[in-house]
Amino acid sequence: MKKHGILNSEVADVLAHMGHTDRICIGDCGLPIPEGTRRIDLALRFGLPSFMDVLCETGADMKIEKVILAEEIKEKSPALLKEIEEYLRGEGIDGEMIEFVPHEELKRLTRDCRAVIRTGETTPYANIILQSGCIF
């Protein structure tokens, strides 16, 4: 049994198989997941687990070189955006590594993700795509 890191076997599997520039998405409970994209459903009920809980645990287990967020988060969920930016700064990710795209584009980009992790989050636009960096 694992002592450290992510215990969820599906999330751990995806992260273990990711290479440089591969992507994984963490989404709220309403984000549509394209047919053919691996769905890892962690949602238990509204709000559980939270988007930030899943982001922090996933981010602690991978090297992130780029982040993609929906442009709409700036207006619709500024408090969550602030939390995300504070977390990312702590991980050494600055503003130049954060890209904002229209929400419709973010949904299209999930097709190319290794997986989409569905949380119980209900905050509007609580969706993020993490691009894997290189650890050496």
pLDDT digit string (tens) for 6-30?
999 999 999 999 999 999 999 999 9
Helix (H) or strand (E) holding 80: helix 78-90
Q: Does residue 83 contact residue 116 with C-beta atoms inside 8 Å?
A: no
List 7, 9, 16, 20, catalytic entry: 20
Position 6 in a domain: no
Q: How many domains does the chain contain in total?
A: 1
Distance between CA atoms of residues 86 and 66, nearest Å: 15
Question: Known binder of ligand: residue 28?
Answer: yes
Question: Known binder of ligand: residue 125?
Answer: yes
Mean pLDDT value of segment 41-62: 97
Position 29 in a domain: yes
The parent domain of residue 47 ranges over 23-132
Which pLDDT belongs to residue 1?
76
- Whether pTM exceeds 0.85: yes
Distance between CA atoms of residues 55 and 26, nearest Å: 7
CATH at residue 86 = 3.40.1650.10
Residue with tokens 């949602």: 43
4 in active site: no
Which residues, 6+ apart, have CB-to-CB distance to 36 below 8 Å?
A: 111
Position 5 in a domain: no
- 41 — phi, psi (to 5°)? -95, 110
Position 34 in a domain: yes
Position 61 in a domain: yes
Q: What is the mean pLDDT of the chain?
A: 96
